[in-house]
Amino acid sequence: MNTLFSKDADFARKFDRLVDARRESDSAVVQTVSDILARMHHKGDTALAEYTARFDNYQLTDEDSWRIAPETCRAAFEALDGDLRDALELAASRIRAYHTAQLPQDRDYRDDQGVRLGAKWTAVDAAGLYVPGGRAAYPSSLLMNAIPAQVAGVERLVITTPTPNGAINDLVLAAAHLVGIGEIWRVGGAQAIAALAYGTDHIRPVDVIVGPGNSYVAEAKRQLYGVVGIDMVAGPSEILVIADGKNDPEWIAADLLSQAEHDPSSQSILITDDQGFAQQVEDSVDVQCAMLSTRKVARQSWDDHGMMIVVDDLAEAPALANRLAAEHVELAVDDPEALFAQLRHAGSVFLGRYTPEAIGDYVAGPNHVLPTGRRARFSSGLSVLDFMKRTSFIQLDESSVNAIGPAAVALADVEGLPAHAKSVKVRLK
């Protein structure tokens, strides 16, 4: 963990370095993934079975071995204890409500020159949802990825998930049952993404692929962007907490650790105007971290990437936050509204002292799939729009084509496109 002071002479330079630091791995993955995609494109299921045997030590043989049956998912759901089932149902219903309110409006109007104009939104036909195997398979992620697709109106929703050594994750299956997904393929990695994008004899292709995964999965999605739609390029998680000295240091330390425990490359940053408070938070991080079952990961993340920035005045914070464009921003102050009004670049913002980031991971309703690595400068969290597209439309009649057509002819002529001009001219009186 490092501490910066905004009043120090070299603060700007050090802060620049923080902004520019990349915590994402590179390049070796690129060629491997490219090879897998090419082989999948040509060999389909044959390659898929080979990769699954090699990487997951799992044999795709008879039909039953390829898929997880809906009955298995139902059984997993019914085996949940009551509190957990209630928690999943509360999460699903709140996520559904928030995303339903995102549904875009169609437009259809006639303007003052008699031109009918509009936009019609439709869902994609099919979406693929990647669910990682092992420790990173979170039922909450399944809800966050599947429900927006369903709200958008996607008719076919399919899951791919690796089952290393045949092991399946009952919690994920329970979540799949809860949202009603019946098509689950036991494949993972870049090869699963390729199968979803290109289609194979077993797996029909989809139009959009979403969901978290390791660096091979992320790179496969990046390389297939354009063949299919993808949610986004995802990197390590991050949180920025902006807190005054009136917070309980234990609360803020817990918030910082909740990002740190995700991954050694996660990043937790505190901006405060109270140096003593920063020290108390640091002490509490140490105490709490030691007690976590995730302490190894959390400790490494905090040691390598943790950061405290002490400013003279919290009014400096929004400008710094906009540079960082963090995935999660907590505003733990009495009047979060004033700071929030100045925040332009952030994935999701948690206002006030009673809104820990983790509440947004599970049950608040907004999506927890959010832009990382400063991508909040230009991209948004997952939403129903990622599963929909807009078709614009235009309708002229004899009168309106005469009103605006001549201008189109003039522009087509000057652009050297005579057939464009002709197609308008023939319709003019």
Please, which residue, 2 or 122, has the CB nearer to its own copies?
122
- Tell me if 130 is assigned to a ligand binding site: yes
- Tell me if 305 is assigned to a ligand binding site: no
Q: Does 418 bind its own copies (CB under 8 A)?
A: yes
Q: Which of 327, 330, 345, 368 is catalytic?
A: 327
- Tell me if 415 is assigned to a ligand binding site: yes
Please, which residue, 21 or 90, has the CB nearer to its own copies?
90
Please, which residue, 11 or 340, has the CB nearer to its own copies?
340
Q: Does 35 bind its own copies (CB under 8 A)?
A: no
Please, which residue, 67 or 368, has the CB nearer to its own copies?
368
- Which two tokens mark 394? 């235009």
Cα angle 79-85-89, degrees, rounded to a multiple of 5? 140
Strands (E), 189-257: 208-210, 229-230, 238-243
CB 217 within 8 A of CB 130: yes
Q: Does 351 bind its own copies (CB under 8 A)?
A: yes
CB atoms within 10 A of CB 110: 12
Listing DSSP states for 254-290 in one string gives HHHHHHHTT-TT-EEEEEES-HHHHHHHHHHHHHHHH
Which of 24, 5, 124, 91 is CA-nearest to residue 385? 124
- Letters for 357-376 (x = contact with its own copies by CB under 8 A, - = none) are xxxxxxxxxxx--xx---xx
- Letters for 66-105 (x = contact with its own copies by CB under 8 A, - = none) are -----------------xx-xxx-xx--x--xx--xx---
Give, in order, the Cα–Cα distances in Å from 191 to each of 67, 113, 119, 418.
16, 53, 36, 47
Footprint of its own copies on 293-312 (CB under 8 A):
293-294, 298
Query: Among 111, 286, 303, 312, which residue sits at the site for its own copies (rule: CB under 8 A)?
Result: 111
Question: Number of helices and strands (H, E) in the chain?
Answer: 18, 14
Taking the C-alpha atoms of residue 250 and residue 284, their distance in angstroms, rounded to an integer, is 6
Listing DSSP states for 111-174 in one string gives -TTS-EEEEEEEE-SEEEEE---GGG--HHHHHHHHHHHHHHT-SEEEEE---GGG---HHHHH
Q: Does 313 bind its own copies (CB under 8 A)?
A: no
- Letters for 231-270 (x = contact with its own copies by CB under 8 A, - = none) are -xx--------------x-xx--xx-xx-xxx--------
- Tell me if 342 is assigned to a ligand binding site: no
Phi, psi angles (nearest 5°) of residue 248: -75, 120
Footprint of its own copies on 201-230 (CB under 8 A):
207-208, 222, 225-226, 228-229
Whether the CA torsion 406, 411, 417, 420 is positive or negative: it is negative
Which of 161, 215, 195, 177 is CA-nearest to residue 73? 177
Could you report how far apart the first and last alpha carbons of the chain are, in Å?
75
316 is catalytic: no
- Which two tokens mark 427? 């319709």
Q: Does 173 bind its own copies (CB under 8 A)?
A: no
99 is catalytic: no
- In the complex, minimum distance from the CB of residue 163 to its own copies, in angstroms, rounded to a whole number: 18
- In the complex, minimum distance from the CB of residue 384 to its own copies, in angstroms, rounded to a whole number: 11
Please, which residue, 67 or 177, has the CB nearer to its own copies?
177
Taking the C-alpha atoms of residue 254 and residue 280, their distance in angstroms, rounded to an integer, is 12
- Letters for 125-164 (x = contact with its own copies by CB under 8 A, - = none) are x---------x--xxx------------------------
- Tell me if 150 is assigned to a ligand binding site: no
Please, which residue, 60 or 388, has the CB nearer to its own copies?
388
Query: Among 119, 167, 315, 319, which residue sits at the site for its own copies (rule: CB under 8 A)?
Result: 119
CB 242 within 8 A of CB 317: yes
Please, which residue, 18 or 117, has the CB nearer to its own copies?
117
Characterize the bridge pairing of strands 107-110 and 116-123. antiparallel
Footprint of its own copies on 374-413 (CB under 8 A):
375-381, 383, 385, 389-398, 400-401, 404-408, 410-412
Q: Which of 328, 345, 357, 368 is catalytic?
A: 328
* Feature table: binding site for Zn(2+): 259, 262, 361, 420
* Feature table: binding site for substrate: 237, 259, 262, 328, 361, 415, 420
* Feature table: binding site for NAD(+): 130, 191, 214
The residues that are catalytic are 327-328
* Feature table: binding site: 130, 191, 214, 237, 259, 262, 328, 361, 415, 420
